[in-house]
Amino acid sequence: MTHQKSSDAEPLEREKLRIVIPPGQKRQRIDLYLAHHIENATRNKVQQGIVDQLVLVNGKIVKSSYLIQPNDVLDVTLPRPRRPEAKAEDIPLEIVFEDDFLIVVNKPAGMVTHPAYANYSGTLVNALLHHSQSLSSNADLRPGIVHRLDKETSGLLVVAKTDAAHSFLAKQFAKHTIVREYWAIVWGRMKNERGTIEASLGRSKKDRKKVAVVIDGKQAVTDYHVLDVLEFLSLISLRLKTGRTHQIRVHLAHIGHPVFGDPTYGGRSNFWGGLSGKKAQQALNLLSILPRQALHAKSLGFIHPGTKEKVQFDSGLPHDMKEVLRMCGSK
């Protein structure tokens, strides 16, 4: 089977696809064939397209029951939704630093970094577009975004204002020379005050929305340092030597100390570690204060794209994490 894009000019919301049925292809209903050979197509969508005369065989209109045969030429018009655009929205931002090259922002928990499917407003990008007329042209929905934080992870992000600054910063992330320190509240007490977690990560075979430790995954390395030991929780700092999706959360769950409050990787059970009675109730009370993972990107250091000098930025813990620590008696 060969695919050829038509040269006919079409509106942005439509795309034409030409499929030539190869020799040796068995006779098969056209709706079944196209449902299997067009990405994201379903049989119902194909049948509706045939009714709407968006599918022609050898230049002729056919029915869904038509049986394809070798050398048939299928011209299919694919409706495509117009690509959404990120729009400026007047959303408050906590700007830590800004100059002609970049912006360092302290992202609150609950804010998505950039627009994506089913989530095109209320993001950091929407707020940045209102705040600044100058952002790097990284992508339609990600102007200025060099790296990201999970929706429910708070903390520091650097945003590029020019394409040159974006490229300069992106290279540092690729080479893992960016200094990123996170603070997390985790379940239990770590065996060692300092340590390194090395475990390859990849998509979970059980749930594609999750990340898991897998043998054939990408290398991931996280260093940790215990800052404070509480009754059944610990406050730790972490530094990333690699930057994999959900790296800290998966690594800590892997060693038996999930991030407190993490709904995805086992951090929301008030019976963690066999807690019972008053301790289990105390944990439940703490979880009610923190409806997200207790993870904060506290510090960020890199070579400035303009001055070529090292710069370092720091942020305080957000109120919800500070309140959990206070209730646990942390100094």
Considering the candidates 31, 150, 262, 320, report the single residue annotated as catalytic. 150
CA angle at 119 for the pair 148 and 321, rounded to the nearest 5°: 50
For 154-189, letters b (16+ CB in 10 Å) and e give bbbbbbbbbeebbebbeebeeeeebebbbbbbbbbe
Q: Does an H or E element contain 322, and which?
A: helix 319-327
Q: Cβ of 270: how many Cβ atoms within 10 Å?
A: 16
Bridge partner residues of 185 (DSSP): 235
Q: Is 118 left (phi over 0), alpha (psi -120 to 50) or beta?
A: left
At residue 94, φ and ψ (nearest 5 deg) are: -100, 100
- Identify whether 150 is a catalytic site residue: yes
Alpha-carbon distance of 78 to 117, in angstroms, equals 19
Comparing C-alpha atoms, which of 184, 211, 167 is closest to residue 267? Answer: 184
Comparing C-alpha atoms, which of 37, 73, 67, 39 is closest to residue 55? Answer: 73
Extract the tokens encoding 75: 């011209």
Start-to-end CA distance of the chain, whole Å, equals 68
The answer to whether 131 touches 169, Cβ cutoff 8 Å, is no
Residues annotated as part of the active site = 150
